[in-house]
Structure 1
């Protein structure tokens, strides 16, 4: 129109400004603003109102204010736009000043004005202001509508104020707005955040008709409360009922599985999602990748990476950091670094992801270089960064460097040490054999040590078989975590390692009396795009006979070479032959045996274990890596072990 020398008038310009607001383009909006000024329509009240709305929608609140201050006629729409704009930007004082200014100028706010204030505060995270404004609205004689309620309920959920949430629910029923789908979804969300699972289901079951929004709210609420099985059941019911589930639905249930230990189910759902024609987005991929990382499903992780590249979302901060973490946890620290180096911009999450990866692989030198690079780039470390660098120092026994970083937290960065940092230092000192120094540090802590700190000490007492300190740490842990079987097992193992069978039996009997059972050793290995789970002592795998036969042959070769099973790691009072038999059934050995049977010579093996690798398995897998000519990666609860040519990357220090 402009190119044909037709001058837009005061009817066309507002339409152009509305379009600019619709595509969030303040640059084009400024050009239209310039046309309005040149053509003499900039002072038209309709144009001015449209300019205020466009700048507010584009988050250019100061430019909106400049136009607003020059207006001679301000109607309720303009006032409401400014109130909403300031509230959405988190400018509480300015939003309330504009709101009161509207009243003092003789313009009475309407429901839209109030809703703009409530929704704006909710959007900017000003929880208390949002709730307070709803109360004020009601006290001033305005009846909150569905928009008001749907905006404030998530904030009540964030506050976990169940009493207030019930009051609002009662208001919804009293005013007859319980059929509003947005209100019902917000109620489900609120009850979910307050942990009221029965109320979640009651609200949902009371709905007349279901829409995808309320279905998604239910899935999210169930997932938040750890009800993953119920979330999966509900999801399948929605499918059967023909509900048109969208990307949010699929992402919610995938995230639920990932967060609650159902990693294989998460991978299967991702495949189903694509078959259903629903395209994953930049939220779905970071929800899926931790599942790949948890069970070292590298092929699935690489497929998700390829998908994110094709979709153009691989450089998204959250996708990139999840990819870095996935590759690191799958034993591909080089690929993790490649993802990191390929980023044009990096946020703190990405820096911490690569730092954590190097720490997990015991690469302290590389971690320290990354830590320095991060600060030189202008990115300040946070408490997670220091946890990663202290963990890296711990994996390599760098006590002096660990102290340097620990002290620099408060002295150079103003970060107060948390329990996790003290736990890292306790681990660092005690694993380096400085158990008494670690205990002295615990006693000097500014606040009472928690289970994280005592657990670090107890774990290291296992390495050095220090019964005295182990009993002290275990006594504290039994009070902090009375239902954590792992603490009892650790103490039992320490007694067993010292041959203190009476004390070992006493701990085991205590576990039986209070109903605690030891978590079985379990390992995962991905073969031909399928993840296999193997449990210690369990013979249910269809190839178990061949696995045992393969391991027995390797055991014979190992003995012929002068190496013998280290039966000290069998913490049971049985004869030597039985001890050898027990060692053969450790889950990481079974996983390696399965990998050897089902992959070609020279193919690398990647195994994840839910417990710490024992010394005998470590020695055996070192031998296998040299004898079979394989690279073998084992990730236990402590770190990564990269076995190659008969040696391990940990240098036998773990």
Structure 2
């Protein structure tokens, strides 16, 4: 049930569930009134076996089972369900085929167990062998086909059912909704002879999760009018729908109704309310819901951590996470994921490491969801090596795991590592998606690997099930442009089967700036401005290109047009996050409390740079002023101020991490390479395009950025 996880709560309440429910089996078998000859001794043994199975002590349960001379079908069925619960399917099947008598419950339980453990074909074989089938048998198979994405087979089985109860209809609707076929689900829903609350709730959720939120809310109103009373699951899904379209007033009305029905203390409802208010930018109301519920559990704490993240208050999200730990609530996978996401946004590597340590202590460090978030956090904070280590240690991986590490490698200039991991992904029979190919093409772009880029683009074009998007075309334009194939890149854009956006033309314009081609740059800028007249980037890139070519009149003309149109250039900013505090710098900034010490450090570095033969490149000053003034301007670019601060504020020999909102200028790039050699430190700089790892006078980008 891969695509829409929130729907899973619905199927668990239905008789078509493929989950193994020992309690149900035990109750049906042990206290069946038609078996009136059951003795207290038998009940006692059954209770002992059930107790062991419930606590997953299969060996103890089996020993107790073996002591019974003639176990009845109920005990066999309980043992089979117990083995399936812990994925010991071979032993479950052996016991099933040893049963002296099998009834329909034992057949259905064995099929459910096979589906639960991932053996759909065996379940199908059992279904075909069944002497008598009930509606539960058919519904179990439909749920199994749904779980493994075999929608047409589920549809075929549904159409062949000799009789259908509401659970069977619900199972097929759920199947369609789970894979985005919401129109098919809706048609089925309308044709149902009778509907229960699960039917309505499943359909409402399916509509909302495929972007038809207005229709979902209308269906909820129809449900209310038809006299069906919503459950807590229904309210949670409708609140989520309100949050998705920021329908604050509608959600408040729903909250009022929830209070009238007495659902306000339900932790599931409360957590959804917290998220609803947070998405609607009413975080104070989220906090109020949290504080008014005395039954705060991990779900509610997680909702509050997530809520602050949704409100972009990531510092407070981490503060709530700390409070949660301090009061003794143990985080779950989702809590760690939300907290690590906040660390990623804040680039708070130290805090991320602390959270990583806590996850390891409670055994969730290699959980697939937590590990995926850790890979992303380490990568975004400039530490791809630890991200790769986590990936290599993971016992279970999903597509997000593979994509996260490939994305990280691409951003950090580890192209060959990205390709190797992609090869491992293919060998593991994991199908790539659009994100995988964007990452691979980005890796080719950042390392100027033209032929490798062509190879991946052709592979993408011929890959079934993946549709080329603008991001893929933008990557290919970048690869061609960085490789100096400007004419080919321009022709590539003109032949695109989908309309290019401004980003495509800006990508070509950026390449023209690198290769100093004013002719193609002018055309690219014109197209970009037609698509986005208020964007400053075309003006800046074109002005910088003219400045690099010493065409000061043209550069001044571009700046004058910008001023007349009121278009403002985004200022360059660089920052260092140190001990939880962010220290930000603008070019020429003198406002920082340590600015005198920073300037002293930079002056010392300037002396060392000249000893190594460094000569400033005045073209990057981009102003028609004297060379001496240009040199001073270059010396106080924001990234150099941030590096100066980092050098005086951190331990010698430690890695220095600097973030920048714009692309690092060519002169600063040359200087930082030399600084890394002078101070014998690794300096990691993330700009708007990628991460640069400066070590001993070299950069990981190979000067291709």
Say whether the 8 Å CA contact 1:296–1:606 is kept in structure 2.
no
Residue 548 to residue 408, structure 1, CA distance change in 2 (3 Å): same
Matched, 1:135 2:186: no
Instruction: Give SS of 1:207's match.
Output: helix
Match of 1:281 among 315, 324, 332: 332
Matched, 1:435 2:486: yes
Worse-superposed segment, 420-429 or 112-121: 112-121
Matched, 1:528 2:579: yes
Say whether the 8 Å CA contact 2:287–2:304 is kept in structure 1.
no
Say whether the 8 Å CA contact 1:313–1:319 is kept in structure 2.
yes
What per-residue deviation string (whole Å, max 9, x for no partner) do you get for residues 399-421 of structure 1?
34433443444468896654333
How far, CA to CA, are the matches of 1:120 and 1:393 in structure 2? Answer: 39
Residue 615 to residue 133, structure 1, CA distance change in 2 (3 Å): same
Matched, 1:458 2:458: no
The equivalences for 1:80-229 within 5 A come to 81=140, 92=151, 95=154, 104=162, 109-123=164-178, 126-137=181-192, 140=193, 142=194, 144-177=195-228, 180-194=231-245, 196-208=247-259, 209-210=263-264, 211-220=266-275, 227=280, 229=281
How far, CA to CA, are the matches of 2:481 and 2:111 in structure 1? Answer: 63
TM-score (norm 1): 0.82
The Cα shift of 1:157 comes to: 0.8
Partner of 1:504: 558
Residue 382 to residue 116, structure 1, CA distance change in 2 (3 Å): closer
Residue 206 to residue 405, structure 1, CA distance change in 2 (3 Å): same
Say whether the 8 Å CA contact 1:430–1:438 is kept in structure 2.
yes
Matched, 1:237 2:301: no
Say whether the 8 Å CA contact 2:663–2:689 is kept in structure 1.
yes
Say whether the 8 Å CA contact 2:275–2:286 is kept in structure 1.
no
The Cα shift of 1:56 comes to: 6.4
Partner of 2:66: 3
Say whether the 8 Å CA contact 1:156–1:190 is kept in structure 2.
no
The Cα shift of 1:293 comes to: 4.2
Residue 190 to residue 2, structure 1, CA distance change in 2 (3 Å): same
The Cα shift of 1:295 comes to: 4.8
Match of 1:643 among 694, 699, 704: 694
The Cα shift of 1:300 comes to: 2.7
The Cα shift of 1:457 comes to: 0.8
How far, CA to CA, are the matches of 1:90 and 1:562 in structure 2? Answer: 64
Residue 353 to residue 562, structure 1, CA distance change in 2 (3 Å): same
Partner of 1:332: 383
How far, CA to CA, are the matches of 1:49 and 1:577 in structure 2? Answer: 85
How far, CA to CA, are the matches of 2:111 and 2:608 in structure 1? Answer: 81
How far, CA to CA, are the matches of 1:648 and 1:250 in structure 2? Answer: 43
Say whether the 8 Å CA contact 2:217–2:238 is kept in structure 1.
no
How far, CA to CA, are the matches of 2:419 and 2:105 in structure 1? Answer: 60
The Cα shift of 1:185 comes to: 1.1
Say whether the 8 Å CA contact 1:492–1:507 is kept in structure 2.
no
Residue 578 to residue 124, structure 1, CA distance change in 2 (3 Å): same
Matched, 1:548 2:602: no
Partner of 1:597: 648
Residue 466 to residue 301, structure 1, CA distance change in 2 (3 Å): same
Matched, 1:313 2:341: no
Worse-superposed segment, 590-599 or 643-652: 643-652
How far, CA to CA, are the matches of 2:586 and 2:456 in structure 1? Answer: 39
Residue 548 to residue 248, structure 1, CA distance change in 2 (3 Å): farther
The equivalences for 1:486-635 within 5 A come to 486-497=537-548, 498-499=551-552, 500-512=554-566, 517-536=568-587, 539-558=590-609, 563=614, 565-572=616-623, 579=630, 582-635=633-686
How far, CA to CA, are the matches of 2:219 and 2:191 in structure 1? Answer: 14
The Cα shift of 1:150 comes to: 1.8
Equivalent residues, number: 635
The equivalences for 1:293-372 within 5 A come to 293-344=344-395, 347-372=398-423
Partner of 1:478: 529
The Cα shift of 1:560 comes to: 6.5
What per-residue deviation string (whole Å, max 9, x for no partner) do you get for residues 408-439 of structure 1?
44468896654333322322232233322321
Residue 84 to residue 409, structure 1, CA distance change in 2 (3 Å): closer
How far, CA to CA, are the matches of 2:533 and 2:642 in structure 1? Answer: 32
Instruction: Give SS of 2:576's match.
Output: strand
Instruction: Give SS of 2:258's match.
Output: coil
- Tell me the C-alpha RMSD between the 2 structures: 3.9
Worse-superposed segment, 502-511 or 451-460: 502-511
What per-residue deviation string (whole Å, max 9, x for no partner) do you get for residues 300-349 of structure 1?
33333333333333444444444344434433343333334334565554
How far, CA to CA, are the matches of 2:465 and 2:86 in structure 1? Answer: 42
The Cα shift of 1:128 comes to: 3.1
Say whether the 8 Å CA contact 1:459–1:490 is kept in structure 2.
yes
TM-score (norm 2): 0.77
